[in-house]
Structure 1
Amino acid sequence: MIIEERVERSQYVKLITWIVSFIILMAGIVFPVLILWVNQDMMSKVIGASVLCLIFFTLIFTVAYQPRKLILSETHIIMERILGQVYISYSDIIDISLYHRENVAEIRIFGIGGLGGYIGKFYNSKIGFYTAYVGDYSQAFLIKINNREKYVMSCRHAEKIVEEVKSRLKQ
């Protein structure tokens, strides 16, 4: 049986996403346009075009890797993103449990922390290094797989997802 659940964003993530997107778009439009039109020297035009490209690709990257939907197929957990999918085979899973974000410092190694969610490589002293695909940490769960990798993912009805995966692991 295939189960699908949408990844929801917390109010904090939604607020940060709107504010930062607005600032980036305004800065990304106003700053390069001013540099391109006001300054006549070539170096200023190159810098303005470079800033515009950097901002554009940052926004594209952010949107492309945001988690959209979690799917439990017959053989895998699938985290669907706009750009590709993340597959975790049930046979590779050692443990799955709800993830409660306690008062532990989170260090972002490489990724996004709030703009559209929490996506990328993170570290905390409780669980170590992990890859996150989280829209709302209150709906998060931790997956430990046999090559010592850890994933923190989130979706609606996380409790039911964890119980369903545990039952599939017993089969």
Structure 2
Amino acid sequence: MQQSMSIQTKGPIYKISDEDLLQFVQVGGERQPISFSKRIVWVAESSTELEYHHGDKLLRKGSSYNDYYGFLTSVDHKVAKDFAESFGITRDSSLILVCRTVVELTPYLETEQHKAHNTDKRPGQTRHFDQAPNEWLQRNEPEEIHSPSYRTFRTPVVLASEITWSSKNTPEENLALAEALKSRFPCEDKL
């Protein structure tokens, strides 16, 4: 079994849930699913990726940025503005540069040691958690008939994936896009 990896995040806790999970283990020479339940802390995190479009077609994905400085700090568009300026991309260009921001809920484990560290921490301050092991699975919903019976549990849940800046927009329109996303996902725990 793979060792859990410790992570640090400044994102807000979106929810805490008890999840029914399973893991395949060797029993008597055969792989058997073992069911168990774990308390999971769901932390909101964002990433923003540059995309180069021509018309309605995505040509290429560029640099990606995370929330290193705090939740939704990946939405800083200075890099995109600098790229657009350096490549001569304007509102009238056929090449369009956009920033796509994805907000996800990532499932983490909070050990007793992490709880002691996190007890007085708030969103925006560094908190410690462990990633769930890759081997942990969750059953797919019955409605998903054509999908596999199980899915990897540690896959983040996407809450939003949207353009937060475009070289086709005015500065005011871009500010409105970024502010709309930030207003829907404030940097506060939702417990």
Give the TM-score normalised by the residue count of structure 1.
0.26
Q: TM-score, normalised by structure 2?
A: 0.24
Higher strand share: 2
| Structure that is richer in helix per residue | 1
Q: Per chain length, whose mean CA-contact separation is higher, i.e. which structure has more relative contact order (CA < 8 Å, sep 6+)? A: 2
